[in-house]
């Protein structure tokens, strides 16, 4: 069995590779990534890609068709992967997150693959505070990033059939330590701030709702989706991935960090305009159709995992919000130094 993981050299990819290597010890695991963050490792352990059989460097926008030969399952992680980057690089966000995903799903199907797993996002629910959003709720994508995921889901649906399943996993906001850690994520930011400054600076009024999920649990869901049968959810399934216990208000996340890392001050910005992105999500469908794969990591464990990971690399940069651990800073630095052109292609 050959599994192709597109976008494996980011924050979540290394955990996905680790999980798939354990679940499919004899599979041929192939990685493909443009490599924007490939060098930005935050581990003193082995290079995550040594668990793969092959690593390719390339662009999903110009994917070499032959690399799809013999592939049985495709995991599509490649993305311009958050709202600030989507705002800065709107057209490229649509090209990478949406158009290339559709092209590659069609290619995979034509080449005889059996399943396509698309990393979608709960952010397509937008502002949705009145009650839990389930898979039948109206979508309200507010940003270029969320729109790219919404368009991709819509156009993936007609490609699926009984012999080619498509699963769009609508993940909550990721958290947890990774060999390619990123700190542009709310819980990761809070823990890094707590460790380096003893303070958590909440940029909003703390009231927005966010469903969170640990990256190990995201990898477990991808594992499930690879072998999902079409009689369990249909040939194309869009499904919320997370846990009903993990819908948190941002200020609650800060409180849990403070429980694990004592003597931390929490500073809430009461003067800011309220955050338009706020949503609570219903994960009951996932619980019912994938009971063995529902999230396991607790929020306290996630905080401890981040704390020990950051300590293991001697992390002490209190100015990390200006550093390359924020993905947008990395892309801008590549551009500023002439390494990437306007289209975010390597020069
Ligand atoms: N991190 C989260 O909170 C979260 C939540 C929900 C969904 N997701 C989705 O999960 C996926 C993985 O997220 P992540 O946090 O690891 O993102 P990431 O930005 O860390 O990794 C994405 C990877 O895609 C690669 N990539 C970008 N453009 C490419 C191109 N043109 N060709 C080939 N590779 C390209 C990048 O180099 C990077 O390694 C993304 O699709 C993201 O939208 C993430």
Locate the ligand 1 atom nearest the alpha carbon of residue 182 and give its number. 20
Alpha carbon of 119 to ligand 1 centroid (Å): 8
pLDDT, one tens digit per residue, over 111-136 is 999 999 999 999 999 877 678 999 99
Residue that has been written with the tokens 């695991």 in this structure? 29
| CA dihedral sign, ordered 292, 132, 232, 7 | negative
CA-closest residue to ligand 1 atom 26: 78
Residue 308 contacts residue 228 (beta carbons within 8 Å): no
Locate the ligand 1 atom nearest the alpha carbon of residue 175 and give its number. 3
Q: Where along the chain do its domains lie? A: 2-336
Alpha carbon of 183 to ligand 1 centroid (Å): 14
Residues of the chain with pLDDT under 70: 129, 272-276
pLDDT, one tens digit per residue, over 301-345 is 999 999 999 999 999 999 999 999 999 999 999 999 999 999 999
Instruction: State the pLDDT at residue 275.
Output: 64
Per residue, the 3-state secondary structure of 192-222, as one string, reads HHHHHHCEEEECCCCCCEEEEEEHHHHHHHH
Alpha carbon of 176 to ligand 1 centroid (Å): 15
Helix pair angle (186-197, 250-260), 10° resolution: 40
Alpha carbon of 11 to ligand 1 centroid (Å): 7
Locate the ligand 1 atom nearest the alpha carbon of residue 82 and give its number. 43
Alpha carbon of 10 to ligand 1 centroid (Å): 6
Strands 209-214 and 247-249 turn out to be antiparallel
Give the angle 10-241-231 at the CA atoms, nearest 5°. 115
CA-closest residue to ligand 1 atom 31: 59
119: left (phi over 0), alpha (psi -120 to 50) or beta: beta
Locate 97 and state its tokens: 């997150």
Locate 20 and state its tokens: 């798939």
Helix, coil or strand: residue 160: coil
Helix (H) or strand (E) holding 57: strand 54-57
Given ligand 1 and candidates 6, 10, 188, 324, which is best to mutate, with the most ligand atoms within 8 Å of its CB? 10
Helix, coil or strand: residue 84: helix
Q: DSSP alpha helices (H): ranges in the chain?
A: 13-23, 83-88, 90-93, 100-110, 144-156, 186-197, 215-226, 250-260, 284-289, 299-312, 327-336
CA-closest residue to ligand 1 atom 21: 10
Alpha carbon of 242 to ligand 1 centroid (Å): 18
Strands 71-76 and 115-121 turn out to be parallel
Instruction: State the pLDDT at residue 262.
Output: 87
Residues contacting 149, CB < 8 A, separation 6+: 97, 98, 120, 121, 123, 124, 141
Instruction: Give the architecture (CATH level 2) of 2-336.
Output: 3-Layer(aba) Sandwich (3.40)
Locate 63 and state its tokens: 């994917």
Alpha carbon of 40 to ligand 1 centroid (Å): 14
Alpha carbon of 260 to ligand 1 centroid (Å): 29
Alpha carbon of 264 to ligand 1 centroid (Å): 31
From the list 24, 19, 148, the residue with the least C-alpha distance to 95 is 148
d(CA 302, CA 176): 6
Residues in contact with ligand 1 (CB, 6 Å cut-off): 7, 9-13, 33-37, 59-61, 77-79, 81, 96, 119, 121, 171, 173-174, 182, 185, 327
| DSSP structure string for 296-339 | ---HHHHHHHHHHHHHHTT---TTGGGSTTSHHHHHHHHHHTTS
Given ligand 1 and candidates 6, 7, 105, which is best to mutate, with the most ligand atoms within 8 Å of its CB? 7
């Amino acid at each position: 069995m050959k599994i192709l993981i597109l976008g494996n050299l980011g924050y979540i990819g290394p955990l996905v590779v680790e999980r798939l290597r354990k679940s499919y010890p004899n599979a041929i695991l192939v990685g493909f990534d443009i490599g924007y963050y490939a060098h930005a490792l935050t581990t003193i352990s082995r290079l995550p890609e040594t668990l793969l059989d092959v690593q390719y460097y390339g662009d999903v926008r110009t994917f070499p068709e032959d690399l799809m030969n013999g592939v049985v399952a495709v995991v599509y992680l490649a993305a311009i992967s958050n709202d600030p980057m989507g705002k800065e690089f709107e057209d490229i966000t649509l090209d990478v997150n949406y158009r290339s995903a559709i092209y590659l799903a069609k290619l995979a199907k034509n080449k005889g693959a059996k399943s396509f797993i698309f990393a979608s996002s709960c952010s397509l629910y937008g502002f949705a505070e009145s009650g839990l959003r389930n898979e039948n709720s109206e979508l309200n994508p507010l940003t270029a990033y969320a729109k790219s995921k919404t368009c991709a889901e819509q156009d993936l649906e007609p490609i699926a059939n009984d012999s080619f399943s498509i699963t769009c996993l609508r993940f909550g906001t990721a958290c947890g330590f990774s060999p390619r850690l990123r700190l542009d994520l709310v819980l990761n930011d809070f823990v890094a701030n707590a460790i380096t400054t003893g303070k958590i600076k909440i940029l909003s009024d703390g009231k927005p709702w966010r469903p969170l999920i640990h990256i190990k649990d995201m990898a477990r869901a991808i594992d499930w989706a690879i072998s999902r049968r079409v009689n369990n959810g249909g040939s194309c399934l869009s499904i919320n991935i997370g846990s009903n216990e993990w819908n948190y208000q941002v200020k609650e996340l800060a409180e849990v960090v403070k429980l694990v890392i004592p003597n931390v001050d929490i500073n809430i910005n009461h003067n800011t305009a309220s955050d338009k992105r706020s949503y609570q999500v219903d994960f009951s469908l996932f619980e019912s159709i994938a009971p063995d794969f529902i999230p396991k990591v607790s929020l306290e464990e996630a905080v401890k995992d981040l704390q020990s990971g950051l300590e293991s690399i001697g992390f002490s940069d209190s100015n990390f919000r200006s550093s390359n651990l924020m993905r947008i800073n990395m892309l801008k630095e590549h551009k500023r130094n002439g390494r990437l052109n306007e289209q975010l292609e390597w020069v």
